[in-house]
């Protein structure tokens, strides 16, 4: 697939339009939307600011829920992804050094797994390779969207490619360009939310003992810590702490950092080695006041952000992409204008409440567990006891964590 291609159009593209759909942001969520629309007959352009060499080298690894796996399976890309991922079959929740550990297993849910851990580079590579054979999908990369003018029948997009300004016309613009979305900001869509008092340290480690395909979520008064299993006895650490403490962890001598990490993991993984540099980012909760305007839709972090506890962020974006793809494809089949606000509101009504649920859930977890306040300690340890002993509550929590609570897109039902 050419990295820069402007002239391709599909038979369904209305006269006077270059594309039916312009997706601004070619990361995992934007590429998922393009993949989900591969057989829709809609002409699509993906506009991405980062060169392919930069985007593919991002060191992150992500938790993918069961629902995300089913969405990718429905798209047809799962066979490419799964061999490069780690399937985990156990989740361990614990509160600091308290002995009351909650363990989830597949038989609690009646499935053969509880989720998957995938590295950014492999997920993106699979999606990009999947798109190569579809003539209705084009790329502009690296390219910068300078301005968008929304009109009654479409959108005029000014794009800068290699220092040269070009004009595109599309029936719909989709903002998939992250938490600092230029598309959202220039459209005048405001947001609500807050910056947390915490930052997050991420790193990959090599472990002496096997992780046994277990995802660990351990809550400390300073913030939650996730340890996610990767291939070859490696793990991705997601360590949340107040800003100053997080900065100190990032700057700490490597041996001291690993010694502290071994203590925080309770020695379950044995001696640890650092496999990657430590990265730090600030944590925020954000919800856009609206996901849609006439000729515009927002997906992924451009629409919302949540606390990293539980690894829900990317999964929300994948669900956004699958839901929007379903709404657009259904509208196109009925001969409706895919950029009309009445069509786009179907997507917003579907996703906005479900996203609020996860944003609220992750915020509650962080605030309830990230403190020494005695009443909160009593309540949360009672809650962990109930998760261990009350099966309906355990099932409800597990369905929420795995994405199986809520309205599934049709892709996930194939």
Q: Average pLDDT, stretch 307-316?
A: 95
Burial of 241 (0-12, 13-18, 19+ CB in 10 A): buried
Structure tokens at 403: 């994405």
Whichever domain contains 221, its CATH number is: 3.30.9.10
Per-residue pLDDT reduced to its tens digit, 122-131: 999 999 999 9
Instruction: Between 345 and 54, name the one with better pLDDT.
Output: 345
pLDDT-derived band of residue 17, with 50, 70 and 90 as boundaries?
A: confident
Per-residue confidence (pLDDT) for residue 56, from 0 to 100: 65
- The residue among 283, 306, 332 that closes a domain is 283
- Within this chain, do residues 275 and 302 fall inside the same structural domain, yes or no? no
Q: Average pLDDT, stretch 234-255?
A: 96
- % of the chain surpassing 90 pLDDT: 87
Residue 54 lies in a domain: yes
pTM of the full structure: 0.94
Q: What is the mean pLDDT of the chain?
A: 92
What's the total number of domains in the chain?
2
Q: Average pLDDT, stretch 276-300?
A: 97
- The residue among 258, 283, 308 that closes a domain is 283
- Within this chain, do residues 39 and 164 fall inside the same structural domain, yes or no? yes
Residue 187 lies in a domain: yes
- Within this chain, do residues 297 and 355 fall inside the same structural domain, yes or no? yes
- Within this chain, do residues 360 and 233 fall inside the same structural domain, yes or no? no
Domain holding 257, by residue range, is 196-283
Q: Is the confidence at residue 159, as pLDDT, over 80?
A: yes
Give every strand in the sheet of 115-119, ordered side by side.
61-64, 115-119, 86-88
- Within this chain, do residues 55 and 182 fall inside the same structural domain, yes or no? yes
Residue 4 lies in a domain: no
Per-residue pLDDT reduced to its tens digit, 325-344: 999 999 999 999 999 999 99
Instruction: Between 376 and 116, name the one with better pLDDT.
Output: 116
- Within this chain, do residues 243 and 164 fall inside the same structural domain, yes or no? no
CA 220 to chain CA centroid, nearest Å: 24
- CA dist list (Å): 239 to 56, 114, 195, 219, 334: 23, 21, 17, 10, 48
Residue 295 lies in a domain: yes
Residues in Cβ contact with 104 at an 8 Å cutoff, skipping those fewer than 6 apart: 90, 91, 93, 114, 394, 398, 401
Whichever domain contains 48, its CATH number is: 3.50.50.60
- Within this chain, do residues 44 and 163 fall inside the same structural domain, yes or no? yes
- Within this chain, do residues 220 and 278 fall inside the same structural domain, yes or no? yes
Residue 97 lies in a domain: no
Per-residue pLDDT reduced to its tens digit, 42-69: 999 999 998 877 766 677 899 999 999 9
Residue 7 lies in a domain: no
Strands 223-230 and 234-242: antiparallel
On whether the CB atoms of residues 21 and 171 are closer than 8 A, the answer is yes
- Within this chain, do residues 80 and 217 fall inside the same structural domain, yes or no? no
Angle formed at CA 64 by CA 326 and CA 174, multiple of 5 degrees: 40
- Within this chain, do residues 266 and 352 fall inside the same structural domain, yes or no? no
Per-residue confidence (pLDDT) for residue 388, from 0 to 100: 92
Q: Is the confidence at residue 6, as pLDDT, over 50?
A: no
Q: Is the confidence at residue 13, as pLDDT, over 70?
A: no
- Within this chain, do residues 232 and 177 fall inside the same structural domain, yes or no? no
Residue 108 lies in a domain: no
d(CA 28, CA 32): 6
Query: What does the longest C-alpha to C-alpha distance in the chain come to?
Result: 67
Per-residue confidence (pLDDT) for residue 8, from 0 to 100: 39
Per the DSSP assignment, residues forming a β-bridge with 140 are 4, 47
Q: Is the confidence at residue 391, as pLDDT, over 70?
A: yes
Q: Average pLDDT, stretch 290-311?
A: 97
Q: Average pLDDT, stretch 384-393?
A: 93
- Within this chain, do residues 71 and 130 fall inside the same structural domain, yes or no? yes
d(CA 132, CA 77): 12
Residue 100 lies in a domain: no
- The residue among 239, 267, 283 that closes a domain is 283
């Amino acid at each position: 697939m050419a990295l820069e291609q402007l002239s391709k159009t599909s038979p369904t593209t209305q006269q006077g339009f270059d594309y039916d759909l312009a997706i601004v942001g070619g990361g995992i969520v934007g590429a998922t939307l393009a993949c989900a629309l591969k057989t829709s007959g809609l002409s699509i352009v993906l506009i991405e600011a980062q060169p392919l060499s930069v985007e593919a080298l991002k060191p992150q690894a992500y938790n993918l829920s069961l629902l995300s796996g089913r969405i990718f399976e429905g798209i047809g890309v799962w066979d490419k992804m799964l061999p490069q991922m780690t399937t985990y079959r156990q989740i361990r929740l614990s509160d600091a050094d308290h002995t009351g550990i909650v363990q989830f297993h597949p038989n609690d849910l009646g499935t053969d797994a509880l989720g998957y851990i995938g590295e950014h580079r492999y997920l993106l590579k699979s999606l990009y390779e999947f798109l190569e054979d579809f003539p209705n999908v084009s790329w502009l990369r690296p390219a910068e969207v300078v301005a968008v003018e929304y009109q009654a029948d479409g959108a005029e997009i000014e794009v800068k490619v290699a220092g040269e300004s070009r004009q595109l016309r599309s029936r719909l613009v989709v903002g998939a360009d992250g938490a600092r979305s230029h598309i959202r900001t220039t459209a005048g869509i405001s947001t609500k939310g807050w910056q947390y008092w915490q930052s997050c340290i991420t790193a990959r480690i090599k472990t002496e003992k096997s992780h046994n395909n277990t995802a660990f979520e351990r809550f400390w008064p300073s913030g939650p810590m996730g340890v996610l299993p990767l291939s070859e006895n490696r793990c991705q650490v997601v360590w949340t702490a107040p800003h100053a403490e997080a900065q100190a962890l990032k700057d700490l001598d490597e041996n001291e950092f690993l010694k502290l990490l071994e203590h925080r993991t309770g020695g379950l993984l044995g001696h640890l080695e650092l496999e990657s540099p430590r990265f730090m980012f600030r944590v925020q909760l954000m919800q856009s006041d609206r996901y849609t305007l006439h000729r515009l839709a927002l997906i992924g972090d451009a629409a919302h952000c949540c606390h990293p506890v539980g690894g829900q962020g990317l999964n929300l974006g994948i669900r956004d992409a699958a839901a929007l793809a379903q709404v657009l494809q259904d509208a196109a089949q009925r001969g409706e204008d895919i950029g009309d606000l009445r069509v786009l509101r179907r997507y917003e009504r579907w996703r906005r409440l479900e996203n609020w649920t996860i944003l609220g859930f992750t915020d509650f977890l962080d605030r309830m567990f990230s403190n020494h306040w005695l009443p909160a300690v009593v309540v949360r340890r009672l809650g962990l006891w109930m998760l261990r002993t009350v099966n309906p509550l355990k099932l409800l929590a597990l369905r929420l964590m795995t994405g199986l609570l809520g309205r599934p897109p049709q892709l996930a039902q194939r």
